[in-house]
Amino acid sequence: MARITIDGKQFETDNGRTIIEAAREQGIEIPHFCWHPKLSVSGNCRMCLVEVEKLPKLVIACATQVSDGMVVHTNNPKVITARKAVMEFLLINHPLDCPICDEAGDCKLQNYAYDHSIGYSRFDEDKVHKPKRVDLGPHVVLDAERCIMCSRCVRFCDEIARKPQLTFTQRGDHVQLTTFPGEHLDNPYSMNTIDICPVGALTSKDFRFKARVWELSSTETVCPGCARGCNMLVWVRNNEILRQTPRFNPDVNDYWMCDYGRLNTFRQVHAETRIKAPVMKKESGPVEVGWDEAIALVASEFKGFKKSQIAVIGSAYATNEDNFLVQKFAREVLGTKFIDFLRHDLDGDEDDLLIRADKSPNGRGAMEVGMQPGNAASGFEGILRGIKEGQIKALYVIEDNIAADPLVAQSLSRIDYLVVHSPVENETTRLADVVFPASTYAEKNGTFVNFQGRVQRIRPAVATLEQDRATDGFAMSRLDMFGSPFDRWAKGAKIDARPTWRIIAGIASLMGVKYRYASAEEVFNELASTLEAFKGMSYRKIGVRGVALHLPKVQAPAAPMHISR
Ligand code: SF4
Ligand code: SF4
């Protein structure tokens, strides 16, 4: 251990730490551009210059290791003068086009210009001009004038994505970031370069010029794109998701997420194919009906089937709260033993950074809350067999397009009565007698369990028309951010979707069993009080980084039937 002093604060830290790391541990932030906690040290921006007593010159805090007795000053006049000089140097050729820059409001250079620069420019000469729109790859555009050559993006590609695709050419103030000859910035993690770029040099083709960051609200949630469950922020304006960015969680995804999860998972929230209200199949075709009518009809239809004629399919896409109540409803109210769910593996699409072959966010959770058969005969294959043999006549399917598999679709076409919960139209909803519009991951509270056995929270980022959503923890204050909540309501919330647990509670009630939950949190509290693996957990304890399941040993669950996409 080394005993050191930074800005008068004395503490012990591990030998081998750099000054910038030791300072961060103590909550002392030393300004920096090129240093990043998960990348190698490059030491090129010089922004982290500090004074170490007994050393003749200022040193860079990112590349200087602590030693016993070291005394460091991060804010004395000598350091402040040097920092202002570095800022002046960095800004000489910077285009200062903050008014049209996507990064404005969220930019290290802009923030440091306020905090650490002299506040005006002494540079009268012409700036060096560089290309403003360089197409680096499928998702990223470079504004070369804004680049401060910190090399974070280059190191990310080399060290984290392990795809050396970026480099610098030229010298001095003509240095320019570029791709290697014949290469593009095209790897599954390419958009993380945008997040770590400390200026607006790298921008997202998808988000470019769509909004100023101060117009957006952000919600801490989890990506539903695969079993990793990367922690992320969902950024919303006018009830529309405009981007998703990674959120630091050292136990799950560090600072990163994949481009697929970032770009594709929110498309279904605003898809043309969203189911906007309950739909019932009538002789004239499918028609939209009210919630009360649909719930009453389903309750009365299920009363007409024997227990042995009913099967229930849960979902690796649904939350623990949804699956928990569905299996409880299946066992306690419908009285069936035919209960199962499907995992969705994309064989081969996995790497050793984040991406998992299991493309569902909650296969592990569905298993843990009891969405599984007592024996193989009452599992998915047994259900298909039961349908084929005419034993199973009514099927309840939650948030999973099981009929995407043509063989399953063929079986479902034989069933007498099919009820489906789904956010969007798909092969399964097209076969259904009743379809309930289900809320997406971005519209409800709940929890997922990732492949590591970590229980993590999802939170509503956009509003649906569900009248009592405020009681389900939707942050009403967010609705107030831009004018009247009613304007925003009318503009954004057009989908009358509900979380699955709430729909199930409504049907159970009409079948004579009252589930008195006012929110997803209350469902979770019950599962946490009844299931050993969740014992003692609460939404507050799960917090923003999640907690591990209580299991003697975290094992991969026994695989239920898989469907490959
Ligand atoms: S593009 Fe951004 S991250 Fe890359 S070197 Fe330039 S400033 Fe740094
Ligand atoms: S690795 Fe999986 S969970 Fe993470 S961002 Fe990609 S799809 Fe989402």
Ligand sitting nearest the alpha carbon of 441:
2
Same domain? 105 vs 248: yes
CA distances from 264 to 121, 219, 222, 260, 411 (A): 43, 17, 14, 6, 30
Domain that holds residue 436: 279-458+497-564
327: enclosing H helix or E strand: helix 320-329
Q: Does 151 sit in the ligand 1 pocket, CB within 6 Å?
A: yes
Ligand 2: centre distance to CA 316 (Å): 15
pLDDT at 278 over 90: yes
- Band the pLDDT of 551: cuts 50, 70, 90: confident
Same domain? 220 vs 252: yes
**Which among 175, 199, 204, 255 is the best mutation to test ligand 1's pocket, defined by most ligand atoms within 8 Å of the CB?**
199
* Residue in the structure block whose two tokens are 């209580």: 550
Same domain? 296 vs 162: no
pLDDT at residue 563 in the model = 52
| Domain presence at residue 464 | no
Alpha-carbon span 238 to 481, nearest angstrom? 10
pLDDT tens digit sequence for 489-547: 434 567 899 999 999 999 999 999 999 999 999 999 999 999 999 999 999 999 999 99
The residue whose CA has the least distance to atom 8 of ligand 1 is 150
Atom of ligand 1 nearest to the CA of 152: 3
pLDDT at residue 128 in the model = 96
| Domain presence at residue 303 | yes
pLDDT at 477 over 60: no
Select from 270, 301, 324 the last residue of a domain.
270
Atom of ligand 1 nearest to the CA of 154: 4
pLDDT at residue 166 in the model = 98
pLDDT tens digit sequence for 415-455: 999 999 999 999 999 999 999 999 999 999 999 999 999 99
- Cβ 398 vs Cβ 339: under 8 Å: no
| Domain presence at residue 489 | no
DSSP class per residue in 131-181: -S-EE-SSSEEE-TTT-----HHHHIIIIIS----EEEES-GGG-EEEEPT
Same domain? 201 vs 77: no
Ligand 1: centre distance to CA 33 (Å): 9
| Domain presence at residue 485 | no
Alpha-carbon span 249 to 410, nearest angstrom? 43
> How do strand 547-548 and strand 454-458 relate by DSSP bridges?
antiparallel
pLDDT at residue 556 in the model = 55
CA distances from 474 to 124, 139, 463, 514, 520 (A): 52, 32, 8, 24, 11
* Residue in the structure block whose two tokens are 């999640």: 546
Select from 270, 303, 338 the last residue of a domain.
270
Same domain? 333 vs 430: yes
Ligand 1: centre distance to CA 219 (Å): 27
Tally the domains of the chain.
3
Atom of ligand 1 nearest to the CA of 150: 8
- Cβ 297 vs Cβ 285: under 8 Å: no
pLDDT at 476 over 90: no
Domain CATH code at residue 347: 3.40.50.740
pLDDT at residue 420 in the model = 98
pLDDT at residue 564 in the model = 44
| Domain presence at residue 476 | no
| Domain presence at residue 554 | yes
Same domain? 207 vs 153: yes
Q: Does 140 sit in the ligand 1 pocket, CB within 6 Å?
A: no
Select from 270, 296, 325 the last residue of a domain.
270
Domain CATH code at residue 124: 3.30.70.20
Domain CATH code at residue 13: 3.10.20.740
Same domain? 68 vs 106: no
Mean pLDDT value of segment 263-276? 96
Same domain? 211 vs 291: no
Alpha-carbon span 159 to 8, nearest angstrom? 36
Same domain? 382 vs 433: yes
Q: Hey, what amino acid is at 2? A: A
| Domain presence at residue 488 | no
pLDDT tens digit sequence for 349-386: 999 999 999 999 999 999 999 999 989 889 999 999 99
Same domain? 78 vs 125: no
pLDDT at 482 over 90: no
pLDDT tens digit sequence for 5-64: 999 999 999 999 999 999 999 999 999 999 999 999 999 999 999 999 999 999 999 999
Same domain? 140 vs 219: yes
| Domain presence at residue 484 | no
Q: Hey, what amino acid is at 100? A: I
Same domain? 298 vs 382: yes
Ligand 2: centre distance to CA 181 (Å): 30
Strand arrangement, sheet containing 338-340: 285-288, 279-282, 434-437, 417-422, 394-398, 310-313, 338-340
